[in-house]
Amino acid sequence: MADGSDTMDIFERVREQFNYAPYPATPLDYFPKNDSNMQFPYCAANAFYRRDGRYVPSEGLQILDAGCGSGVTTLRLCLANPGAQITAIDLSPASVAVARERLDKYGYTDVALYAMPLEQLSELGQTFDYIHCHETLYLLPDPQAGLQSMAAVLSERGVIRANLHSKYQRHEYFRAQELFAYLGATTDCDQETAVAIATETLDALAETTQLHARTWRGKEGREKDTLLANHILEGDKGFTILDLFDLLRGAELDLIDMVNWRHWNVRNLFKPGQDLPDYLQVAFESATPEQLLHTFELLHPVHRLLDFWCGRAEVPSSYSSAGDRPPTDWETATIYLQPVLRTEKFRAALDQTVAHGLTLDMRPFLGCTDPQSLTLFANSLLIFHLLWQEPMTFVALRQLWQRLHPIDPLTLAPTTLEACGEALRLMLPDLEDYLFIMIEFGVG
């Protein structure tokens, strides 16, 4: 880590950069209301569910946006968590001013905003249930101190969502940053000059020069934003999964899950339908999450962000997947619809498909949970329709299912309650794994 004076220097340079250009430069007119797939990681209920297998409504939650920038993330938090009390902080006063304007414009005047470093969060004298720290941790001179500061104001069963830049995926930009620092285009001049030097250099490169081909081609019209967010981003650093776990241990935090966990399944990187080599089969069976995730990033470093949820290490997660539950557990289960799906856009699509027994591509509604195409069939969509008004116990859903499916299509005999329960126990875990639904066990 840098010594004290360097740390101060990086701090000031980061602040200066975001005062010059609050991030993101999204116009105030852009309102992400129907953008539900973007709201998915902003919805605190998802994080709490993956932590403890419980559905936690957003009303009354204390939520912090740490490093709120120009307020787009704060606005998404407001939309994804109705009734929550939201606080946002950022190092850059100019960014906070834009965030204030953005939130006021859409009526979120009660969001508390402060220009302050997240290393001093304890000065707020408050604890938070969900701390959201997006695209910020990797800019801190000491990310572990940042995590410790957030952990210190986290409620007992609270969750932090944060992310780090991947060292492997983003290596071309780290090289560009090294280049422009070496040329004096970042540390020795103001932001405007740094942007000008970097633009002229990249424009002058031959099309086939790697830096141009991999980081600059196709960026026409977005040069300044691209440079400030990448080639000359102050404070930016890359991390591996091993670094991430070290940081968590140092802050006495435990990984809950990657936010896009379905994209991190190392087994999906092998040829489908074939057994793994024996050595790997045995190694994967006894591997820790850290080992599996690190193997994934070494094999296939496609994720720019190591985007994770974590919580206090002394309060371990208690989630276990619905697919691993015995039939007796289901008798006490209650099923909830994913709150982010409750939009007019999804309701309209659902009405169409349920009425005509069609299929529906779910990616526009919850894109971030699955790497491949994601088409749901009529029976799954019917479940969403039944849960729309209110959550249902498994027992009530099974009864309704029998009324809706009175005849077995194969034997043409009347269906039994038992067979309907079995069909639901087969279908619901898949929907739960995508988090289209949440299933609480032991409370029905």
Ligand X SMILES: C[S@@+](CC[C@H](N)C(=O)[O-])C[C@H]1O[C@@H](n2cnc3c(N)ncnc32)[C@H](O)[C@@H]1O
Q: Which residues bind ligand X (CB under 6 A)?
A: 14, 18, 23-24, 67-69, 72-73, 90-92, 95, 117-119, 134-136, 139-140
**Least distance to ligand X from the beta carbon of 195, Å?**
16
Note the residue count of the chain.
444
**Least distance to ligand X from the beta carbon of 69, Å?**
3
**Least distance to ligand X from the beta carbon of 63, Å?**
13
Give 183's DSSP letter.
Answer: T
**Least distance to ligand X from the beta carbon of 119, Å?**
6
CB nearer to ligand X: pick between 80 and 437: 80
Give 367's DSSP letter.
Answer: G
Q: How far is 442 from 444, CA to CA, in rounded Å?
A: 6
Q: State the Cα torsion 100-82-153-249 to the nearest 10°.
A: -110
**Least distance to ligand X from the beta carbon of 95, Å?**
4
CB nearer to ligand X: pick between 52 and 135: 135
Q: Which residue is nearest to ligand X (CB)?
A: 69
**Least distance to ligand X from the beta carbon of 72, Å?**
5
Q: What are phi and psi of 262, to 5 degrees?
A: -70, -15
Q: How far is 54 from 35, CA to CA, in rounded Å?
A: 25
**Least distance to ligand X from the beta carbon of 22, Å?**
7
Helix then strand count (H, E) for the chain reads 19, 13
Q: How far is 198 from 261, CA to CA, in rounded Å?
A: 36
CB nearer to ligand X: pick between 58 and 73: 73
**DSSP of 256-291:** EEETTGGGG-GGGGS-TTSPPPHHHHHHHHT--HHH
CB nearer to ligand X: pick between 95 and 226: 95
CB nearer to ligand X: pick between 56 and 64: 64
Query: Bridge partners of 88?
Result: 65, 113
**110 burial type by CB count under 10 A (0-12 exposed, 13-18 middle, 19+ buried):** exposed
287: tokens are: 């591997």
Q: How far is 261 from 246, CA to CA, in rounded Å?
A: 20
CB nearer to ligand X: pick between 91 and 437: 91
CB nearer to ligand X: pick between 115 and 205: 115
